[in-house]
Chain A
């Protein structure tokens, strides 16, 4: 049933991929542009990458962003996992639908509204805005993504494994750390990575909730672009794309290897009865 690529298939593939990746490819190419003018090609150069290393403002912003993303991803993962556990495990309780609705609402809530409401909260609390407020705001909206991811992992979880652990003398809290957590760990890690990425590229909520001294990288890039795109920005963006790409490729290689290994093991076990 193998057919050669048809004219239609090739065209749609080319159109689709161009639509998705042409802008990014252009950006990468122009990051190696020797010219100071972004739209005029002046030969190959890596000088913008070098000058990037001397741009303290951009480096500071990157450092803030990473700290915010890391901290908020960790907190969101803990809270999101707990929420998922309650939703899957507690059976029916009064207000369950309300609880699940409220956890998932930020998924569809416009970011502007979320950012504005958080700003109002911080202002009314008379809270100085900066690193902590951005971090809390990111935790708030990343948590629901974590809950969704972990919940899907928990639905297929055989609860009798926990019962077996308790039956063998393991108290409930210890059971969670020895049995439940290791088994749902892929879901938890995926949730963490999602939260980290979401925080990394958030602009809207960060703009609302940040204060002096806590400018994140997307905010910095956005404000600089308003003054005109410099090749330096292209270089920063290329680096970001590179980091994300490497992460995605690494994750998929690990997953693929595990899957292949598992299939091989299962084939070996098959028919080995008796």
Chain B
């Protein structure tokens, strides 16, 4: 993978980029490298600076300081209409007074491409996005999903060096969104282009992207593959933002190169993790464990066994495919741990029900230790 090799030249590079709007800093001294043919996602909540970052690449915003490179070229001073990138807008921004084929041909005509080539490229794009039968229609004669495909075809028609996707699937319903995510992935593989997507939807980012950059308050928090982001988050923010997580405040009691022992601060149960930590003995850390990695069984806790916590079933959420159980492990009502399990059989009567005594167990390699 190119990002594992520090000498591999990046395709897009943000170098110490800062963007201020008045007193508000949208992007803070940010550096990021994106490689050729990568499907890269910028993920974060609203106002985290992800859209600003993309708009600076497209040329709609100018960085307050720092540089942006695309394929070795410094983009400073280059207006949007001369940049080799194309963008698919959140609102689709289709031209309402032009037919579908005219929308798709618009960018090609700006390049003074000969008419015969324009026609051929438009036909190719219509076929690629399965819009052949709608070529003569105007945007308002199309459904939401069709409009989305026109926007995609239009931004791909010029074969840009990088395709920028700004929350491209936000307006679609769930089923259509999932289908389109897979279509996007296939398209990216087929066209061998670099895709940069901005999204607030973590599932979307995890599905489509090779790598994800999690952003918060104008800074990059973690840049890694979806699996790394999920299984090895580097801080409490990422663990909490991506997926569901149990966060247990714990004090380090013993540590070696291959093992860390802790005691939970609130309830005093013992935790053991096969991960080394920088934290010193006596320091408070966060132990993060995903609910699906917590096993739950009826019965009482055996004293002295690690990662073995007793509790009482407090709440059960049946979601069809999975069930989530909130087990109360301390005195306080909010002091619960969550366990998720797949409903593998059709039995409606579940063996575990409200107020049962249960044991929660997990392996040494199930959770991660986070600082701060």
B104 CB, min distance to chain A CBs, angstroms: 10
Is there an interface contact between A161 and B110, defined as CB atoms closer than 8 Å?
no
**Which one of B8-16, B91-99, B284-292, B361-369 contacts A?**
B91-99
Is there an interface contact between A170 and B106, defined as CB atoms closer than 8 Å?
yes
- Report the bound CA distance from A182 to B102 in whole Å: 14
Is there an interface contact between B93 and A160, defined as CB atoms closer than 8 Å?
yes
A169 (CB) vs chain B CBs: closest residue: B110
Q: Interface of chain A, helix or strand or loop or mixed?
A: helix
Interface size on A, residues (CB 8 A): 26
Is there an interface contact between B97 and A182, defined as CB atoms closer than 8 Å?
yes
Chain B interface extent, by class: 35 or more
A165 at the interface (CB under 8 A from B): yes
- Report the bound CA distance from A170 to B140 in whole Å: 23
Is there an interface contact between B138 and A265, defined as CB atoms closer than 8 Å?
yes
A266 at the interface (CB under 8 A from B): yes
Is there an interface contact between A266 and B81, defined as CB atoms closer than 8 Å?
no
Contacts of B110 in A (CB 8 A): 168-170
B261 at the interface (CB under 8 A from A): no
B178 CB, min distance to chain A CBs, angstroms: 12
Q: Contact flags (1/0) for B192-209 with A, using CB distance below 8 Å?
A: 000000000000000000
A262 at the interface (CB under 8 A from B): yes
A155 CB, min distance to chain B CBs, angstroms: 16
Q: Contact flags (1/0) for B138-156 with A, using CB distance below 8 Å?
A: 1011111110000000110
**Interchain CB contact (< 8 A) of B93 among A161, A270, A271:** A161
- Report the bound CA distance from A272 to B149 in whole Å: 14
Is there an interface contact between B141 and A268, defined as CB atoms closer than 8 Å?
yes
A126 at the interface (CB under 8 A from B): no
**Interchain CB contact (< 8 A) of B95 among A161, A171, A266, A269:** A161
Is there an interface contact between A163 and B143, defined as CB atoms closer than 8 Å?
no
Is there an interface contact between B91 and A160, defined as CB atoms closer than 8 Å?
yes
A158 at the interface (CB under 8 A from B): yes
For residues 212 through 243 of chain A, which have their beta carbon under 8 Å from a beta carbon of chain B? Answer: none
A5 at the interface (CB under 8 A from B): no
B45 at the interface (CB under 8 A from A): no
B140 CB, min distance to chain A CBs, angstroms: 6
Q: Contact flags (1/0) for B73-110 with A, using CB distance below 8 Å?
A: 00000011111011101110111110000000011001
For residues 155 through 200 of chain A, which have their beta carbon under 8 Å from a beta carbon of chain B? Answer: 158, 160-161, 163-172, 179, 182-183
**Interchain CB contact (< 8 A) of A272 among B60, B140, B143, B154:** B143
A212 CB, min distance to chain B CBs, angstroms: 47
Contacts of A179 in B (CB 8 A): 95
B326 at the interface (CB under 8 A from A): no
Is there an interface contact between A170 and B87, defined as CB atoms closer than 8 Å?
no
B251 at the interface (CB under 8 A from A): no
- Report the bound CA distance from A78 to B159 in whole Å: 38
B158 at the interface (CB under 8 A from A): yes
A274 at the interface (CB under 8 A from B): yes
B338 CB, min distance to chain A CBs, angstroms: 36
**Interchain CB contact (< 8 A) of B145 among A167, A172, A274:** A274
B176 at the interface (CB under 8 A from A): yes
B147 (CB) vs chain A CBs: closest residue: A269
B333 at the interface (CB under 8 A from A): no
**Interchain CB contact (< 8 A) of B176 among A170, A172, A273:** A273
Is there an interface contact between A167 and B143, defined as CB atoms closer than 8 Å?
no
**Interchain CB contact (< 8 A) of A167 among B80, B111, B142:** B80
Additional 14 contacts, C-beta under 8 A, given A168-B81, A171-B79: A160-B90, A161-B93, A161-B95, A164-B154, A165-B106, A166-B59, A166-B80, A167-B59, A167-B87, A168-B154, A170-B81, A172-B81, A179-B95, A273-B144
Chain A to chain B contacts (Cβ below 8 Å), 17 pairs? A160-B91, A163-B87, A165-B95, A166-B79, A167-B58, A167-B59, A169-B111, A171-B81, A179-B95, A183-B96, A183-B97, A266-B141, A268-B141, A269-B143, A272-B143, A273-B143, A273-B144
